[in-house]
Chains A and B, each alone.
Chain A
């Protein structure tokens, strides 16, 4: 990494960590949720932007992560209830990796629209199961999520939601972003790019296309699971609504909005998407109308997304080739 990036990141993290005392409590909460979605979108992009596979069902993993947390906190478990966030995260990683491995093994044989639709099939299957197996999942009401202990400390409700958990998520967000950066720039990450550009040629030069696609799929599933697991205690409640094909469309929108061919694209996209959604929801109930219009606008006018557009501008400014 170039030194100027490292400085920028340190400044960014410092800025982010002085925010909670400064901002109103509500915005700290909003920012925490946004970071959960940013993790989810970042993971999704290794599949979508990097490997070129559009999944229309990744809310499945958001749901798997969130429901893992909720299920392990159920009072029915008695002495075996888990409240440690670290253990819950580990459990969410394991479950989403297992589900991702199973579903991914079936999906990666296809590309393009078949890949998108088989994922859509899986997320709707999962959604139907969440709705109908109400003895386990609570049906439409979903399950309550209690306050977990973070690093062994259990904070009171208000401090947890608007202060302590923010730093916890921020730390995980920074770590996972760094890990993803390493993955992107590893030989594996570059091979994924080759697969996106031309799968047949990538196979010819000896890249195991199927296995690499599966690995990318599982990574994206794990990121989705972690995003969901961190989001669950914030919302205090998980319900089947988070895992439908419509919420899967949201993550595609985040990536295209931010720029799917740019590393920071999904993060920027998640921030803009979620905050825009909240702001629009404040003044009109017809927020999906505006979101829909902006999706069309971005596809037609800025297919490279915000970051793609910005980076060409910056390069032109410095006189480099775009």
Chain B
């Protein structure tokens, strides 16, 4: 393989990896703070893409200039966040008290509901909104044309990772959140309104998933069932990186993305199998993941 191809494969791998990263962060936040493994996160990711498509399509039809289309991305994600604000008190608040099995099943049901609702509203055929993608044009890397829009995604994902790190480790609210995750009762005693805090955290996690779907829309398509594959791979990323670890999510997502990209290029028969093999290997040899905390006795 010539070096140009390798570079392109790496870039493609990272392109896919970052979408997994954006979903996994939300999953991690929900799992480490609320102990809910949200299967419906894939549905929220898809919803982000579809809502952004609706906004972009409307804006493009109305003939708005290109910068309005850029605004559609955060607007679409915000709408997903609003959906989160509806489903959190209706459904998730009740799940926090239940056993993990039940919340897993309920969010699985919610995922089916999301997927079918999207199909009901937007139809079954893929929808594309590639105005921004075309507008950005291409760059030349080592003599090969490569879409510039992908670099927007790289920069964006790095910004999200940095922003979240600052939020969790450098702001007061981040400290409160981490404290509540450790001891919910104690932070209630210290005057933290845990119920509202959970709603806010849920909004954040869902917003990031929506943003993931929205920012990927110009480069790919919105199609029904688009949430299923990334959510399964995000579980893999979550376990490999370690539950609740931001760094782990980034590293593991890159790993999976690169393995998948090289797998497609080298052994197309087994690209998916390799990803799940890594997951199984991780669980067997290092169940807490690359950057996860050690288990306590009752967690085992």
Give chain A's interface residues, CB within 8 Å of chain B.
48, 54, 56, 106, 109-114, 116-118, 120-122, 124-125, 127-129, 131-133, 200, 245-246, 249, 252-253, 256, 286, 288-289, 291-296, 299-300, 303
Contacts and interface: CB of A to CB of B under 8 A. Distances in A.
A291 B116 CA distance: 10
Nearest to B300: A111
Given A106-B284, A114-B239, A289-B113, A296 B102 contact: no
A241 B32 CA distance: 33
Interface of B: 37, 91, 94-95, 98, 100-106, 108-113, 115-117, 119-120, 228, 232, 235-236, 239, 269-270, 272-273, 276-277, 279-280, 283-284, 287, 297-300
Nearest to B120: A286
B232 A120 contact: yes
Contacts of B269: 132-133
A295 B98 contact: no
A253 B107 CA distance: 12
B228 A292 contact: no
Contact of B37 (A110, A113, A121, A246): A113
A148 to B, nearest CB: 31
A144 B10 CA distance: 40
Given A289-B117, A292-B116, A110 B287 contact: yes
Contacts of A125: 273, 276-277, 280
B201 to A, nearest CB: 19
Contacts of A127: 272
A116 B287 contact: no
B109 A128 contact: no
A288 B280 contact: no
A249 B297 CA distance: 29
Contacts of B273: 125, 128-129, 132
30 contacts: A48-B101, A54-B100, A109-B287, A110-B283, A111-B300, A113-B37, A114-B239, A117-B235, A118-B279, A124-B232, A125-B280, A128-B270, A128-B273, A128-B276, A132-B269, A246-B228, A253-B105, A286-B119, A288-B112, A288-B116, A289-B117, A289-B120, A292-B111, A292-B116, A293-B113, A294-B109, A295-B109, A299-B106, A300-B91, A300-B106
B116 A289 contact: yes
A133 B279 CA distance: 20
B280 A116 contact: no
Given A121-B280, A291-B109, A296-B110, A303 B116 contact: no
Q: Which of B110, B119, B280 has the most CB of A within 10 A?
A: B280
A121 B283 contact: yes
A296 B297 contact: no
A111 B98 CA distance: 17
Contacts of A245: 232
Given A118-B279, A124-B276, 7 more contacts: A54-B104, A106-B283, A116-B104, A118-B283, A124-B272, A293-B109, A303-B98
A166 to B, nearest CB: 31
A110 B48 CA distance: 34
Nearest to A110: B287
B297 A200 contact: yes
Given A117-B239, A294-B109, A295-B105, A286 B116 contact: yes
Contacts of B235: 117, 120
A125 B300 CA distance: 25
A253 B110 CA distance: 13
Contact of A289 (B112, B236, B276): B112
B33 to A, nearest CB: 15
Nearest to A131: B272
Contacts of A120: 232, 235
Nearest to B40: A292
Nearest to A132: B269
A128 B104 contact: no
A256 B106 CA distance: 10
Given A106-B284, A113-B37, A54 B113 contact: no
Contacts of B113: 288-289, 292-293, 296
**Which 4 residue pairs of A and B lie closest in terms of their CB atoms, listed nearest first?**
A295-B109, A292-B112, A289-B116, A292-B113
A128 B273 CA distance: 5
Contacts of A48: 101
A306 to B, nearest CB: 15
B102 A113 contact: no
B112 A299 contact: no
Q: Which of A48, A120, A131 has the most CB of B within 10 A?
A: A120
